């Protein structure tokens, strides 16, 4: 597995664990729709959260959350619309969130 995919998988698994510890109920991970993907879909209280996880091992490309631009947000919205239509019709309280992880750990992925 290439380094960026390994780092991304680590970040998503870490985010799921932290969110669960914070009381979120995980409904789906890596939800793929025609026009986008959502890393984590979770519920807390009456709100359904669509969460993009960004993990960086250096700050050479900026902060992780800076990678979520308007184009990415539009793709997330399209995927969220698809998810709600298919799996949660009528859901009203939603939130789009970024779970940003910065780490200085570098793995040897051979």
Structural domain contains residue 59: yes
Structural domain contains residue 38: yes
* Cα–Cα distance measured from residue 4 to residue 34, given in angstroms and rounded to the nearest whole number: 23
Predicted TM-score of the model (pTM)? 0.85
For 21-79, the pLDDT digits (tens) are 999 999 999 999 998 899 999 999 999 999 999 887 667 677 777 788 899 999 999 99
Among residues 7, 11, 32, 22, which one has the least CA distance to residue 82? 32
* Tally of structural domains, the chain: 1
Structural domain contains residue 107: no
Give the tokens for residue 81: 């619309």
Structural domain contains residue 42: yes
For residue 65, give the CATH number of its domain: 3.40.1350.10
From residue 103, alpha-carbon distances to 8, 31, 47, 94 in Å are 12, 25, 29, 29
Owning domain of residue 10 = 3-102
């Amino acid at each position: 597995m290439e380094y960026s995919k390994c780092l991304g998988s680590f970040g998503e698994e870490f985010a799921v664990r932290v969110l669960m510890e914070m009381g979120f109920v995980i409904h789906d991970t890596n939800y793929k729709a025609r026009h986008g993907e959502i890393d984590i879909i979770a519920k807390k209280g009456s709100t359904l959260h669509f969460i993009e996880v960004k993990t960086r091992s250096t700050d050479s490309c900026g902060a992780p959350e800076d990678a979520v631009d308007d184009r990415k947000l539009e793709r997330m919205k399209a995927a969220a619309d698809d998810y709600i239509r298919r799996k949660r019709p009528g859901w009203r309280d939603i939130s789009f969130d970024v779970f940003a992880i910065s780490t200085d750990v570098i793995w040897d992925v051979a």
